[in-house]
Structure 1
């Protein structure tokens, strides 16, 4: 399973997480709504919702969402944001969460599936879905595009300040990113998955980009002095060579796998 300490770092500053983390493209939700039949009356469980980057769009389609979030601070922000919407917020890890008896129509995890225990996640997801229900995961990739020269040059900052940075890190094009395959794609519990990909470019000022970096688990886990040195190096690069603004390209892979029909 992914490092428990790392996956808990998101809860350290929930308000910053809420301000800095981007949402997902509208087209992705349109496709998910069609593939998983998300709409009025549908029951959706979302694992790892953070502060609602996907929860609100899901609920806005009329679905009843049970949002299971392990971070108590993140959950409080989420609860405030979804007040009046058909959303129940539960504070728990996915692994320890006791699901209700009534099955769900859709299991959703947006940039959170990789934090769940691979030994239990697929089987537990299938068990809480109705026959023919949908497992929907979204994987986020950082890809070529936007201020490409910046993302090449900024590796010098990482190589200096983050000892875990491998040499010659480079971003890949969309076509060079392989599908995010795992045990779901090999499981007899699910039909073959349908995949869709979506791009999104986001422009950041120096301050908003540093805020976004400060929500990443690997950055938060750095020694404070190293993190400060890294952020100062990144800020100087953006301010001195890019006029205080850069654009980052994101690629989102939506995977929808329906459970096999059970008697």
Structure 2
């Protein structure tokens, strides 16, 4: 399926997405606050149901959120009435130039048009404003043998097996969006946050059901995959530990004040 098709799948079960998707380390937002100050005007792209929004609302940052899915947007509005939620495709949405101190996208930037996404974000930043991209990576660690063994399930039921296993956190490239090469930023910095989450078999299968690639499988393939994964978790004692890497990439805009 294409990028355009896959990114439509997340809103098919907004309540599931809200229930299972993890949030982000508080330290990540502490690092952002050190860059943008205590009360930045924020544009969040692809907020889902507020996995990153929650930390900004807690800090009383004024947030405008652009969400593609009406279903996810409805949940976001219900949870955070103070957030201005716009249901739109950011790739074609027109917003006033130089209107925000911070443009942030958490685990959603890769769904935007790669040819235009960085420039479109930079155009919305006030002079000295920051573009922050938070990426989420599945990395080696936690229940390591389970994640080796589970590749046989993916080999059997999907086309998405990881040939060489999960990468170590330190092996994930520090600048996947090319901030340093873009010429659009006066400076760029990168931080990593590694953390573990424990899942029972039902919890882990629900998490997988929120991923676009799993939702795109046929029912027969998905049922077979989940049976295979569930059996492995049962053999591992009924629960597994998953390791996440969140990488924060921050670029400071070179924009000049509007005439």
Shorter-chain-normalised TM-score: which range? over 0.9
- What's the CA shift string for 1:142-176, capped at 9, x where partnerless? 111110010000011110111x1346340121222
Structure 1 residue aligned with 2:245: 251
Structure 2 residue aligned with 1:232: 227
State which of 42, 49, 52 in structure 2 corresponds to 1:51: 49
Q: Number of residue pairs matched?
A: 256
State which of 130, 134, 138 in structure 2 corresponds to 1:138: 134
Equivalent residue of 1:106, what SS? strand
Structure 2 residue aligned with 1:17: 17
**1:57 to partner: Cα distance:** 0.8
Q: State how far apart, in whole Å, the 1-side matches of 2:194 and 2:104 are.
A: 19
Equivalent residue of 1:181, what SS? coil
Structure 1 residue aligned with 2:125: 129
> What are the ranges of 5 or more consecutive residues in structure 1 without an aligned counterpart?
none
Q: State how far apart, in whole Å, the 2-side matches of 1:136 and 1:102 are.
A: 15
State which of 102, 113, 134 in structure 2 corresponds to 1:117: 113
The answer to whether the aligner puts 1:193 opposite 2:191 as a matched pair is no
Compute the TM-score of the two structures, normalised by the length of structure 1.
Answer: 0.93
Instruction: Please list, as runs of the form range in 1=range in 2, the aligned pairs for 1:206-225 lying within 5 A after superposition.
Output: 206-225=201-220
Equivalent residue of 1:170, what SS? coil
Compute the TM-score of the two structures, normalised by the length of structure 2.
Answer: 0.95
- What's the CA shift string for 1:39-90, capped at 9, x where partnerless? 33x210000000000111112212110010000000000000002x3x1011
Equivalent residue of 2:244, what SS? strand
**1:102 to partner: Cα distance:** 6.0
Q: State how far apart, in whole Å, the 1-side matches of 2:128 and 2:116 are.
A: 20
Equivalent residue of 2:186, what SS? coil
Q: Which runs of 4+ in 1 moved over 6 A?
A: none
Q: State how far apart, in whole Å, the 2-side matches of 1:94 and 1:167 are.
A: 31
- Paired residues of 1:155 and 1:169 also in contact (CA < 8 A): no
State which of 230, 234, 256 in structure 2 corresponds to 1:262: 256
Q: State how far apart, in whole Å, the 2-side matches of 1:102 and 1:213 are.
A: 38
Q: State how far apart, in whole Å, the 2-side matches of 1:101 and 1:191 are.
A: 19
Q: State how far apart, in whole Å, the 2-side matches of 1:243 and 1:23 are.
A: 26
**1:183 to partner: Cα distance:** 4.0
> What are the ranges of 5 or more consecutive residues in structure 2 without an aligned counterpart?
none
- What's the CA shift string for 1:112-166, capped at 9, x where partnerless? 111110121111111111011000001111111110010000011110111x134
Equivalent residue of 1:171, what SS? coil
Structure 1 residue aligned with 2:29: 29
Q: State how far apart, in whole Å, the 2-side matches of 1:74 and 1:249 are.
A: 26
**1:92 to partner: Cα distance:** 0.5
**1:261 to partner: Cα distance:** 4.2
Q: State how far apart, in whole Å, the 2-side matches of 1:79 and 1:51 are.
A: 8
The answer to whether the aligner puts 1:173 opposite 2:179 as a matched pair is no
Equivalent residue of 2:126, what SS? strand
